[in-house]
Amino acid sequence: MDTMKTYRYAAIIIAVTVILLSAVSAAYAVEDDIFGLWQYREIVTREGQKTGEASVEEAQGVLLSDLEAMPLGLLGKVFGKLNYTAEFTREHRFALNIRVLGMRFSAQGDWSAQDGRMTLIYDEITGFESLWWLGGFAHLSHCDAEHTMIETVPYAEANDTLTFRSNGADLIFDRE
């Protein structure tokens, strides 16, 4: 009888271990799809919401979840070709780089992804002081390793397309 109980406990422990390992490997598999360089394609407004309508969580955004403070559509229309890349490394570092009309903007930091949401911890943001005339960028010039900024934004990755859901719009990148 004791041998039978031991086998049952062993079977339960093995089953739980297999389930936990598959859940962990599934989480890493989703994360693996994010690694690499992504090129900005477009902003697509979602029906029923206007850019600028944000939940409390989204309202605390920095760059990806705050399209009102980062008017990519306006920059592209006013200044011409917008070159915007996002890179995510296996060391969980990210770099956002924007070039338009000879101006360069960049942001770097650490990232993590869980349950369809990406959290970015910015520890360096540069170049945005040149957009003082647009307003809303003053807080970005105060970011450094000692004064980090954090944003969490919903995202989806499928078919070499990375989409950030932001203030009623989708910010779409293609794998480079």
Question: Model pTM?
Answer: 0.71
Residue 45 CB contacts under 8 Å (≥ 6 apart), including other chains: 51, 168, 169
User: Cβ distance 35 to 90 under 8 Å?
Assistant: yes
Give kind and range of the element (H or E) at residue 105.
strand 103-114
The tens digit of pLDDT for each residue in 84-137 reads: 999 999 999 999 999 887 889 999 999 999 999 999 999 999 988 877 666 667
For residue 67, which phi and psi values (nearest 5 degrees)? Answer: -70, -20
